[in-house]
Amino acid sequence: MRLRVLLLTILAGMVFLQGSPAAEYRQEFCSGEHGVCVIYEQNGKILDVYLRNKFPHRNIITTVTFEHSGKPENIQCTTPLPLTTVCRGTEPMKALSFVISDYSRQWNPQLNWYWQYGASGKPDDEKHPYQLPYLKGKRFRVCQGFNDTPTHHGDFAYSIDWIMPEGTPICAARGGIVVTVIDHYSGGGFKKEYINKNNTVQILHDDGTLAQYTHIKKDGSAVKTGDNVRPGDIIAYSGNVGYSQSPHLHFNVFKPVNGKKSTSIPSGFITDYSDYDTPEKTGIYSYTGITPKKERPSVYMEDMVFCKSMINFQPADIADIFSPKDRFKIFLPIDLKKDRKIQIFLYKDAIPAPLLRYSWTLKKEWWQAVTDVDLSKVPAPSGKWKAEIIIDNKKMGYKEFTVKPSG
């Protein structure tokens, strides 16, 4: 989803106060409870400007941009502005120096500053392998990958949307410091009113990049600002809040360009199929810890289910016991690189020939194979059944269900 939440962490400081004509002067200006403080220290004709992070964590990182709001009065910066710098930790660091033309007169640097969490510049490890942002062994489908429609473009190009039911545990894909927690919003939809009402958790990594986990449920955060988290820790529970049209997790890694602007950057994940899997396109991603890496399957027999209905393209009313008059669906997740032919044969008890047959062509763009089953077409359907899946004449496996006697 196209998010504006990145901008929520960008705050500006503006100094309009004129300086003292005294030979010595010190004043501190702070932005926000956990923001950045700018300190003026004058000694004679020299005015030094320091930065200090208020965030109560020794590993905090911010990017700050200074610029003039107008023409400086009776003072000149020794460094051309605008200037972007990175402030690490909580100790003051010198950022700028000014020379006062006549310190017996008032001066005004006409200085603005803008800041946000993270470090601008090139990350130390541009291909750091992330963990999948959900529990080990779980599988979820990416419905919108990198540079994908409708919303992953521009500064949000390297974003990922995973379809997942509301309330699914979300895990930290990389360790770091929790710098932003927003989980008080409710409601959602593809409407302007929800663009800036996204519940999110943001985690700052030690290289100055950040990960954003968005659309979490109301009151769905499991962490608070300032917490240290490790990869795999549960940090929130998924939802459908904000600029969202169905339950999913929006994830992206981003970094500041300067104190005003951020941009998403590519990320890759450790999966069962690769040590650096990049979800540029839709597909199903999992990590069970198996070795060696295996080829990505075209069908997921483990996730095949029988269901009575579908909600948001997902199976609902899942069951494996039915009555003779029941109508139900066979649901099978697929991940195809090309069009494939599928056959589903339904066998009852020890009868060697299938009593029901289904066959059609699966398109590579499809996410699942779904067919309706009508047991009323079978005489005396009570008994043990199995549904066998065949793709391009290759048997993939089967799943069993039971039809109980009527009455």
Query: In sequence order, what DSSP letters do the residues of 246-278 get, joined into one string?
Result: SSEEEEEEEEESSSS-EEEE--EE--SS-SSB-
Q: Phi, psi (5° rounding) for residue 96?
A: -145, 160
Which among 312, 366, 305 is positioned nearest to 335, based on CA atoms? Answer: 366
- Between CA 119 and CA 2 the distance in angstroms is 22
Report the CATH fold assignment for 301-403. Coagulation Factor XIII; Chain A, domain 1 (2.70.50)
pTM of the predicted model, to two decimals?
Answer: 0.86
Going by pLDDT thresholds of 50, 70 and 90, the confidence category of residue 19 is: low
Q: Count Cβ atoms within 10 A of the Cβ of residue 70 and give its class: 0-12 exposed, 13-18 middle, 19 or more buried.
A: exposed
The torsion angles phi and psi of 154, rounded to 5 degrees, stand at 65, -135
What's the mean pLDDT in 16-33? 72
Query: Position 301: which residue type?
Result: M
pLDDT tens-digit readout, 300-345: 999 999 999 998 778 999 999 999 988 999 999 999 889 999 999 9
Annotate 171-202 with b (16+ C-beta within 10 A) or e (fewer): bbbbebbbbbbbbebeebeeeeebeebbbbbb
As a whole number of angstroms, the distance between CA 319 and CA 308 comes to 8
User: Which amino acid is it at 52?
Assistant: R
The per-residue pLDDT for 183 is 96
Share the mean pLDDT of the chain.
90
User: Which residues, in sequence order, are CB contacts of 292 under 8 Å at separation 6+?
Assistant: none
Under 8 Å between Cβ of 101 and 124: no
Statement: residue 79 has pLDDT above 90: yes
* 234-246 per-position pLDDT tens digit: 999 999 999 998 8
Q: Is the pLDDT higher at 4 or at 272?
A: 272
Contact 308, 317 (CB under 8 A): yes
Give me the DSSP letters along 173-232: SS-EEEEEEE-----B-SSGGGTT---EEEEE-TTS-EEEEESEEEEEES--TT-EE-TT
Compute the distance between CA of residue 145 and CA of residue 353 in angstroms, rounded to an integer.
43
Distance from C-alpha of 94 to C-alpha of 250, rounded to nearest angstrom: 38
**pLDDT at residue 9, as a whole number:** 40
What pLDDT shows up at residue 232?
97
Residue 254 pairs in a beta bridge with 210, 264
pLDDT tens per residue, range 117-163: 999 988 877 889 999 999 999 999 998 888 887 877 888 899 999 99
- Per-residue model confidence as pLDDT tens digits over 84-122: 999 999 999 999 999 999 878 888 999 999 999 999 988
What is the structure's pLDDT at 18? 52
Q: What local confidence, expressed as pLDDT, does residue 6 receive?
A: 37
First to last CA, the chain: 50
* Reported confidence tier of residue 351, pLDDT bands at 50, 70, 90: very high
Average pLDDT value for residue range 46-55? 96
Return the pLDDT at 104: 82
Tokens of residue 300, six digits: 């997921």
Q: How wide is the angle at C-alpha 266 spanned by C-alphas 285 and 197, nearest 5°? A: 85
Every domain of the chain and the residues it spans: 5-117, 129-286, 301-403
**What was the pLDDT predicted at 282?**
81
Mean pLDDT of 245-258: 95
Is residue 3 pLDDT above 50, yes or no?
no
CATH of 129-286, one of 3.40.50.970, 3.30.420.40, 2.60.120.460, 2.70.70.10: 2.70.70.10
Q: Which two tokens stand for residue 24?
A: 């010595």
Q: Is the pLDDT of residue 23 over 80?
A: no
Which pLDDT band, with edges at 50, 70 and 90, does 7 fall under?
Answer: very low
Contact 259, 234 (CB under 8 A): no
